[in-house]
């Protein structure tokens, strides 16, 4: 158990105008830091784009939506089910045209 604690880091992330303490695994530190930078960059972007028009809470909600959309787009890119269905259909057509018994893919 003590060995596992060596892999846990206590880091401070600077997110926009806040410093947040975070405990993370050593192999995830860079991801946490990149995430904090992304959030800071997005807050800066939306703050400058909507300066004087939106309050801080609205800006943070816009950042949340932006990050959620990026997540969902990434999730869609990693979804191989439609590709597998297309490949199965093409395989079936090729096997049918060649007179081969359907495979059990």
Say yes or no to pLDDT of 8 above 90. yes
Say yes or no to pLDDT of 45 above 50. yes
The answer to whether residue 25 is domain-embedded is: yes
The answer to whether residue 105 is domain-embedded is: no
What is the tally of structural domains in the chain? 1
Q: What is the pLDDT of residues 12-30, one digit of tens each?
A: 999 988 999 999 999 999 9
The answer to whether residue 69 is domain-embedded is: yes
The answer to whether residue 51 is domain-embedded is: yes
Q: What percent of the chain lies above the pLDDT cut of 90? A: 58
Segment 72-79 shows an average pLDDT of 78
Say yes or no to pLDDT of 1 above 50. no
In angstroms, what CA-CA distances link 99 with 38, 44, 63, 90, 104?
54, 62, 55, 14, 15
Of 32-36, 52-56, 97-101, give the lowest mean pLDDT range: 97-101
The answer to whether residue 58 is domain-embedded is: yes
State which residues form the domain around 46: 2-98
């Amino acid at each position: 158990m003590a060995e596992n604690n060596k892999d846990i880091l206590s880091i401070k992330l600077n997110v926009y105008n806040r410093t947040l303490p975070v405990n993370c695994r050593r192999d995830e530190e860079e991801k946490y830091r990149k995430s904090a930078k992304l959030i800071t960059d997005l807050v800066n972007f939306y703050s400058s784009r909507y300066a004087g028009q939106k309050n801080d809470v609205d800006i943070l909600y816009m950042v949340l939506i932006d990050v959620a959309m990026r997540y969902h787009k990434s999730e869609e890119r990693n979804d191989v089910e439609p590709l597998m269905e297309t490949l199965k259909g093409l395989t079936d057509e090729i096997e049918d045209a060649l007179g081969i018994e359907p495979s059990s893919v």
